Amino acid sequence: MKPTWISVLGATGSIGVSTLDVIARHSERYKVFALTGHSRMRELAEQCLAHQPRYAVVADQAQAQALQARLSAAGSLTDVLHGAESLAWVAAHEQVDAVMAAIVGAAGLQPTMAAAHAGKKVLLANKEALVMAGALLMDAVKTSGARLLPIDSEHNAIFQCMPGRYPDGLQQVGVRRILLTASGGPFREFSRKELEGVSPEQACAHPNWSMGQKISVDSASMMNKGLELIEACWLFDARPSQVEIVVHPQSVVHSLVDYADGSVLAQMGNPDMRTPIAHALAWPERIDSGVSPLDLLSVARLDFEAPDPERFPCLRLARQAAEEGGTACAILNAANEVAVEAFLARRIGFTSIPVIIEHTLSRQACEPVRDLEHVLQADRLARQHAANWLALKD
Ligand code: NDP
Ligand code: MG
């Protein structure tokens, strides 16, 4: 069997590390073409020595020289490249079959677009790319014949519960609703008053999942579920009103699809990202992911409750942006990225995150998306509005 050559964008992150864990279990089947990192150079060097990619990509020239020297001294043949163009290059290279898009935030948009335009199998973890430029990304996938497979556990679950013909339209295949589950995050039971005083450490201590800092804060504010609502609309061609959010604190049911005949299909499993990663890597086959079997008796019970839009206003803001369409979601995403960074840097309190996003959305007119440059322009302007809010507050 011919091996599948993979570029792992964001290899040093939580998803990147889980991806390499799955790949290492099937080293005959998957070969690493490129690994990319941004700040964790020691980890990237170790990954390169273990997986011997053809290329590594880092942020700047100084990092590239240091990593190249280290790898060459160890006898490695990996070539180290740097910069945004190199990220796109290893995503679109003709020898690459599949791209794991696992850079966090807007920085992942351009390389993910490059992989889609080049017709790759795109394993999409970088939900922000779809939130910012869903129309363009879905269009690039269609035009080039790329295959987009969701890594986000909820979307991967929905994909597994959908009939193969779902691109014909949800109504045509008898789907009534998508039920998107949310753990509720570490602050599910906190009062509004308690939310005002929470720290970045508390926000990053997710009860069920171990993830990067940005998505951990998004989970705590429930903006993650808002971004996932937008993501689901693009992936499954659903209207926002067809996607219902259900809080499910155990994170065992990863999402559900509700059919016209009353059947509801769910995908379940232990909360470990290696399951959706292995599913998407091998699809339509199934391979071992290293995840232990689900023990229903120790799970014992599954709870479901409605989300609280009063304590978690990010949900409302994301749903509004999803309904508005155009550049609204790029504006929402950019303002959220600025706000999360400010919260992690202790410049603002947790409850200021939705305030900054709402302020930014009110300052910037939403327009129909023309092209990628237009999306990037909306992103830049939104960051400016959000930064102005921060400057006024200081
Ligand atoms: P991490 O913060 O753990 O990793 C992010 C990766 O992106 C790292 O490799 C990081 O490099 C790299 N990176 C950061 N900034 C830049 C930049 N400006 N340019 C290039 N590379 C950059 O995040 P996660 O792995 O948790 O998440 C990755 C994506 O997957 C996110 O979009 C997230 O929403 C999504 N996702 C994650 C899940 C999870 O369980 N973790 C679940 C579902 C979706 P370095 O570390 O070297 O600085
Ligand atoms: Mg998710």
Closest-lying ligand to the alpha carbon of 228? 2
Q: What is the pLDDT of residue 327?
A: 98
**Distances in whole angstroms, Cα of residue 224 to Cα of each of 154, 220, 317:** 11, 8, 12
* Ligand 1 nearest atom to the CA of residue 153, by list position: 43
Does 147 lie in the same domain as 179? no
* Ligand 1 nearest atom to the CA of residue 214, by list position: 2
Q: Tell me if 142 sits within 8 A of 119, measured CB to CB.
A: no
- CATH number of the domain within which 376 lies: 1.10.1740.10
pLDDT band of residue 348 (cuts 50, 70, 90) is: very high
Which residue is closest in CA terms to ligand 1's atom 16? 38
Structurally, how many domains does the chain consist of?
3
* Dihedral angle of Cα 275, 281, 282, 286, to the nearest 10 degrees: 0
Q: How many CB atoms lie within 10 A of CB 318?
A: 29
Does 329 lie in the same domain as 219? no
Render pLDDT for 29-46 as a digit per residue (tens, 0 to 9).
999 999 999 999 999 999
Would the pTM of this model clear 0.95, i.e. be above it? yes
Q: How far is the CA of 82 from the centre of ligand 2 (A)?
A: 30
Single residue among 117, 151, 185 that ends a domain in this structure: 151
Average pLDDT, rounded, for the chain:
97
Q: Mean pLDDT throughout 372-390? A: 98
Does 352 lie in the same domain as 339? yes
Q: How far is the CA of 36 from the centre of ligand 1 (A)?
A: 11
Q: Tell me if 102 sits within 8 A of 10, measured CB to CB.
A: yes
pLDDT band of residue 100 (cuts 50, 70, 90) is: very high
Q: What is the pLDDT of residue 380?
A: 98
Q: How far apart are CA 225 and CA 204, in angstroms?
A: 16
Q: What is the pLDDT of residue 394?
A: 79
Q: How many CB atoms lie within 10 A of CB 155?
A: 26
Helices (H), the chain: 14-24, 41-51, 61-73, 84-92, 109-117, 127-144, 153-161, 192-196, 200-204, 213-221, 223-236, 274-282, 296-299, 313-324, 328-344, 352-363, 372-393
Render pLDDT for 176-201 as a digit per residue (tens, 0 to 9).
999 999 999 999 999 999 999 999 99
Q: What is the pLDDT of residue 18?
A: 98
Does 202 lie in the same domain as 97? no
Does 39 lie in the same domain as 147? yes
Does 371 lie in the same domain as 304? no
Question: Is residue 288 a part of any domain in this protein?
Answer: no
Q: What is the pLDDT of residue 26?
A: 98
pLDDT band of residue 128 (cuts 50, 70, 90) is: very high
Does 188 lie in the same domain as 115? no
* Ligand 1 nearest atom to the CA of residue 9, by list position: 9
Does 246 lie in the same domain as 197? yes
Question: Is residue 280 a part of any domain in this protein?
Answer: no
Question: Is residue 52 a part of any domain in this protein?
Answer: yes
Q: What is the pLDDT of residue 138?
A: 98
Check pLDDT > 90 for residue 209: no
Question: Is residue 23 a part of any domain in this protein?
Answer: yes
Backbone angles phi, psi at 141, to 5 degrees: -60, -45
Ligand 1 contact, 229 CB (< 6 A): no
* Ligand 1 nearest atom to the CA of residue 216, by list position: 26
Check pLDDT > 90 for residue 76: yes
Question: Is residue 289 a part of any domain in this protein?
Answer: no
pLDDT band of residue 393 (cuts 50, 70, 90) is: confident
3-class DSSP assignment, residue 58:
strand
Domain holding 229, by residue range, is 152-271+299-312
Question: Is residue 384 a part of any domain in this protein?
Answer: yes
Q: What is the pLDDT of residue 205?
A: 94
Report the share of the chain in percent with pLDDT over 90: 98
Substitution site in 36, 85, 137, 215 for ligand 1 pocket (most atoms within 8 Å of beta carbon): 215
Q: What is the pLDDT of residue 37?
A: 98
Check pLDDT > 90 for residue 210: no
Q: What is the pLDDT of residue 368?
A: 97
Does 13 lie in the same domain as 137? yes
Question: Is residue 286 a part of any domain in this protein?
Answer: no
Substitution site in 12, 15, 82, 273 for ligand 1 pocket (most atoms within 8 Å of beta carbon): 15
Does 53 lie in the same domain as 199? no
Q: Which long-range contacts (CB under 8 A, 24 or more apart) does 161-168 make?
A: 161/255, 161/256, 161/257, 161/265, 161/266, 161/267, 162/236, 162/257, 166/236, 166/237, 167/237
- CATH number of the domain within which 111 lies: 3.40.50.720
Single residue among 262, 280, 312 that ends a domain in this structure: 312
Does 258 lie in the same domain as 129? no
Q: How far apart are CA 161 and CA 376, in angstroms?
A: 34
Report the share of the chain in percent with pLDDT over 70: 100
Does 358 lie in the same domain as 384? yes
Single residue among 94, 119, 151 that ends a domain in this structure: 151
Question: Is residue 277 a part of any domain in this protein?
Answer: no
